[in-house]
Structure 1
């Protein structure tokens, strides 16, 4: 495993929010490619044993170069994608070498930086790919609007057709570099400091019962932004020991009610139609919103609010604290926000609790770059207030401090 044979590389893996990372080691016969992504994309790669890489020219804000979109086929018509610009300081020339290689070792990591799968892979590129990359001028990261480029690449892919698929670089995953059914155990003290934590947690890619796995992973993300002692896992009502919420985050200024909504990460779920996945997501969101309402009602019954952690009674004075709801979903679909928005607004209108939904991958991006209560709440309320004003919630792209974000460029015409 790359994380064991080359532990120094883990700094770069953890710094990569999500996407692809090429690696070259002296003495290696093959270049390597890190794919950092969510568990659904990784499982799709494991099941399908293939993915494609599209090289996409762009001309934006005076920068004329090439970006890429990697497509992973959980659904042939609506694959999961990762993309980005080829940037001089961010391994652009190593990317070119990897994309034009005949064989590469590929290592899959999840958002928490855990190495899940590895394969020897075969790539099928063409002379056209070689010419495009050799002729491209790789821009500097300084002043580069990577957000606009990613918007362009994503829109380009949504408009692409069969001819574009035929021209993509084909990647076939030939043989595992290590067993595909690894179970990971985390025994680090720093991972288990929150209230209600076990002493050891474990993780596996394929899971029939996702609940506890997802909740622990959400807590791992939240601990990047909030102190461990502010996080309560599965607090219980004092009178019947039923769960108040999946997670409560209690800071000096605010309380966040967090509900986790996932589904099994199995082949049968990966192979569901996109319409079935959308329907499942909407049902899960409705349930999560109802649970936020129930938690808000319970917390408001007594002053101060009371809940149990094991046999210990915890009291929280809500006076002067903001109360917010967050539903963390397995996935959300851009063309379904007209259905999501009324469900979330209803929580605010009925209980006075501003509530938004984030996919797990979005929460990863938020907590990767937002540190502390104020920064997280600022992004949270930007989404909520935009939704109140426009009538539909946006998806906020959270990027590294100092990133350039200008108005969106013109998008390509649909084909």
Structure 2
């Protein structure tokens, strides 16, 4: 595992938001490929013994340009994807070098930089890839061009033809570089200092107990911008002994009420139809809205707020702190926000508590790109203002703007 043999790599990887990440290990001539992505992408790669690369010639901002889509097939028509804008720079030269080789090593990390899979891999059409890329046009980097390429890649891939599928390059996994059923435990004191920790922070790729692992991932993400002492996992009501939230955050100014819904990360669930996945999201969202209604009611009625985490008892006067509801689900589909938004905005109309629906990758982006609570609140306010105006939640995009 790279994280064991070369722990120094974690520094640069920690600031990388996700995607393809070529690296050259000192003493090695060949590049290796790191792919940083959510667990569903990683499981799809494992089940398919690889992934596919689509190269798209584009006209972006009036210039000939190029982009690449890495596709991880959980669904034949709408697979999970990573988009990569290519420019006249060192990164693109390394990408060309990687996939122009018929043999490469691939290491797959989740959003918290945990190495879950590693394989030796082959690209049987490496020579064709090299020839194809030599004919492409690469423009100098600019933020505006990057935004346009990413927008066009999404549209291009959605409208791809059978010919595009035939011309895609298959990166085929061979022998694993280490066991592909890893259970990873993080015993660092600072990672486990939040309230309610029962066992050290841990993860694994294939998950039957979706909720438990998802709640830990949310805590891990929140630790980027909140203090451990602000975070409470699985708080229990003092009156009836029932859990009233998945994650509670109490800062000097704000109380964040987090309800999370996830599905098992298994082959059976991953290979469900898109229609089934969409209906599952709606069902989870309805349950989460009902639970959030109860959580808001308890936070308001129990003064001071009394609850337990593990064996610890807490009694906190919330004072005039603002209440904010966060519903975090497995995935949201861009075409379905007109369905997701009414029940969440309806909860605001009912309770006067701003409530939001995010999928977990979106929460990851918020906590990765926003420096502190003030920036987090500012982003939420921006989203909520637009949601009230349009009666539909927007998605924020990070990393492709001057401030971003």
TM-score by length of structure 1 reads 0.92
Q: Using a 3 Å threshold, how does the CA distance of structure 1 residues 195 and 89 change in structure 2: closer, same or farther?
A: farther
- For residue 252 of structure 1, what is the aligned residue in structure 2? 252
- Please tell me whether the aligned partners of residues 30 and 103 of structure 1 are also in contact (alpha carbons under 8 angstroms): no
Report the Cα offset of residue 98 of structure 1. Answer: 1.0
Measure, in 1, the Cα distance between the counterparts of 2:118 and 2:200: 25
Which has the higher mean CA deviation after the structures are superposed, 63-72 or 312-321? 312-321
Measure, in 2, the Cα distance between the counterparts of 1:249 and 1:139: 45
- For residue 41 of structure 1, what is the aligned residue in structure 2? 41
Q: Using a 3 Å threshold, how does the CA distance of structure 1 residues 144 and 133 change in structure 2: closer, same or farther?
A: farther
- For residue 156 of structure 2, what is the aligned residue in structure 1? 156
Indicate the SS of the match to 1:191: coil
- For residue 393 of structure 2, what is the aligned residue in structure 1? 393
Q: CA offsets, 1:321-376, max 9 Å, x none?
A: 21111111111111111111112112101111111111111111111111211110
Q: CA offsets, 1:167-214, max 9 Å, x none?
A: 111111122111111111111001011111235232111111111111
Indicate the SS of the match to 2:258: strand
- For residue 268 of structure 1, what is the aligned residue in structure 2? 268
Measure, in 2, the Cα distance between the counterparts of 1:90 and 1:292: 48
Indicate the SS of the match to 1:180: coil
- For residue 239 of structure 2, what is the aligned residue in structure 1? 239
- For residue 64 of structure 2, what is the aligned residue in structure 1? 64
- Please tell me whether the aligned partners of residues 66 and 85 of structure 1 are also in contact (alpha carbons under 8 angstroms): yes
Q: Using a 3 Å threshold, how does the CA distance of structure 1 residues 193 and 401 change in structure 2: closer, same or farther?
A: farther
Measure, in 2, the Cα distance between the counterparts of 1:143 and 1:186: 36
Measure, in 2, the Cα distance between the counterparts of 1:25 and 1:221: 28
Q: CA offsets, 1:240-289, max 9 Å, x none?
A: 11112001111111111111111111111111111111111111111111
Give the alignment of 1:134-145 within 5 angstroms.
Answer: 134-145=134-145
Q: Using a 3 Å threshold, how does the CA distance of structure 1 residues 114 and 394 change in structure 2: closer, same or farther?
A: same
Report the Cα offset of residue 140 of structure 1. Answer: 3.8
- Please tell me whether the aligned partners of residues 254 and 322 of structure 1 are also in contact (alpha carbons under 8 angstroms): yes
- Please tell me whether the aligned partners of residues 52 and 169 of structure 2 are also in contact (alpha carbons under 8 angstroms): yes
Q: Using a 3 Å threshold, how does the CA distance of structure 1 residues 57 and 6 change in structure 2: closer, same or farther?
A: same
- Please tell me whether the aligned partners of residues 369 and 400 of structure 1 are also in contact (alpha carbons under 8 angstroms): no
- For residue 281 of structure 1, what is the aligned residue in structure 2? 281
Indicate the SS of the match to 1:281: helix
Measure, in 1, the Cα distance between the counterparts of 2:106 and 2:312: 47
- For residue 16 of structure 2, what is the aligned residue in structure 1? 16
Give the alignment of 1:11-410 within 5 angstroms.
Answer: 11-28=11-28, 30-89=30-89, 91-125=91-125, 129-399=129-399, 402=402
Q: Using a 3 Å threshold, how does the CA distance of structure 1 residues 387 and 124 change in structure 2: closer, same or farther?
A: farther
Measure, in 1, the Cα distance between the counterparts of 2:196 and 2:126: 54
- Please tell me whether the aligned partners of residues 51 and 73 of structure 1 are also in contact (alpha carbons under 8 angstroms): yes
Structure 2 residues not aligned, in runs of 5+: none
Report the Cα offset of residue 107 of structure 1. Answer: 0.4
**Count of aligned positions:** 404
Measure, in 1, the Cα distance between the counterparts of 2:221 and 2:319: 27
Q: CA offsets, 1:46-67, max 9 Å, x none?
A: 0111211111122222443211
Measure, in 2, the Cα distance between the counterparts of 1:357 and 1:399: 21
Measure, in 1, the Cα distance between the counterparts of 2:181 and 2:67: 33
- Please tell me whether the aligned partners of residues 84 and 146 of structure 1 are also in contact (alpha carbons under 8 angstroms): no
- Please tell me whether the aligned partners of residues 211 and 262 of structure 2 are also in contact (alpha carbons under 8 angstroms): yes
Q: CA offsets, 1:10-59, max 9 Å, x none?
A: 22222210101112235436431111111111001101112111111222
- Please tell me whether the aligned partners of residues 257 and 325 of structure 2 are also in contact (alpha carbons under 8 angstroms): yes
Q: Using a 3 Å threshold, how does the CA distance of structure 1 residues 317 and 151 change in structure 2: closer, same or farther?
A: farther
Indicate the SS of the match to 1:190: coil
Measure, in 2, the Cα distance between the counterparts of 1:403 and 1:298: 38
- Please tell me whether the aligned partners of residues 189 and 199 of structure 1 are also in contact (alpha carbons under 8 angstroms): no
Measure, in 2, the Cα distance between the counterparts of 1:226 and 1:279: 33
- Please tell me whether the aligned partners of residues 100 and 127 of structure 2 are also in contact (alpha carbons under 8 angstroms): no
- Please tell me whether the aligned partners of residues 66 and 133 of structure 1 are also in contact (alpha carbons under 8 angstroms): no
Q: Using a 3 Å threshold, how does the CA distance of structure 1 residues 176 and 310 change in structure 2: closer, same or farther?
A: closer
